Amino acid sequence: MTNEILTEFEGVEKELLQVISGFSQEEFNTIPFKGGWTAGQVAEHVYKSISSFTKGLYGKVKPTTRQPDEKVEPIRKTFMDFDTKMSSPDFILPSNAFHDKNAILSSLKSTMDKISEAIKKFDLSETCLSFVPPAIGELTRLESIYFVIYHTKRHIHQLKNISSELRIVSRE
């Protein structure tokens, strides 16, 4: 199980970093369409989310009294439904400031390395107490990692759409 989730996590990490790397610094800060986030804002949002979960993985935990993967499928269904528009909790909303692509890439890589390390060294069946996501409640370390995986996949999809939109607009 540890190898499976580690492989999946590292694949998502690699894809996220590649997609972000594909943007020029200018594109990274260009609004793709009215009301949309820039790629930089999406990346900042993902970073803030991952950082919160990292704190939970390394924080206080307790033994779990239910199946440790009970919430994985509902999390997957929620985030992999690309037709449903979601809103972000305030604490992980991105800023409107300039986003330095290389700085965000570095921060994402560092934080994701911590999650890879957590996968290797912690009991993933324990329930995290240091970070409890709003509207979801307590998650096990396993569920927290899958939340990061599916949330990141959702935003990789969004980043690819932003990239496509910017390429179309630049050709017009």
The domains found in the chain, sorted by start residue, are: 2-19+38-94+101-171 (1.20.120)
- 10-residue block means of pLDDT along the chain (172 residues)? 91 98 96 90 97 97 97 96 86 92 98 97 97 92 98 97 82 54
- The H-assigned helical ranges of 63-140 are 72-80, 101-121
pLDDT tens profile 52-87 = 999 999 999 999 999 999 999 999 999 999 988 888
Query: Of all helices (H) and strands (E), which one includes residue 149?
Result: helix 141-171
Q: Which two tokens stand for residue 2?
A: 């540890």
Model pLDDT, residue 2: 78
The DSSP secondary-structure symbol of 158 reads: H
Q: Which two tokens stand for residue 52?
A: 């919160």
Q: Which conformational region is residue 142 in: left (phi greater than 0), alpha (psi within -120 to 50 degrees), or beta?
A: alpha
CA-nearest of 74, 52, 44, 78 to 143 is 74
Model pLDDT, residue 79: 95
List of E strands, the chain: 61-62, 127-128
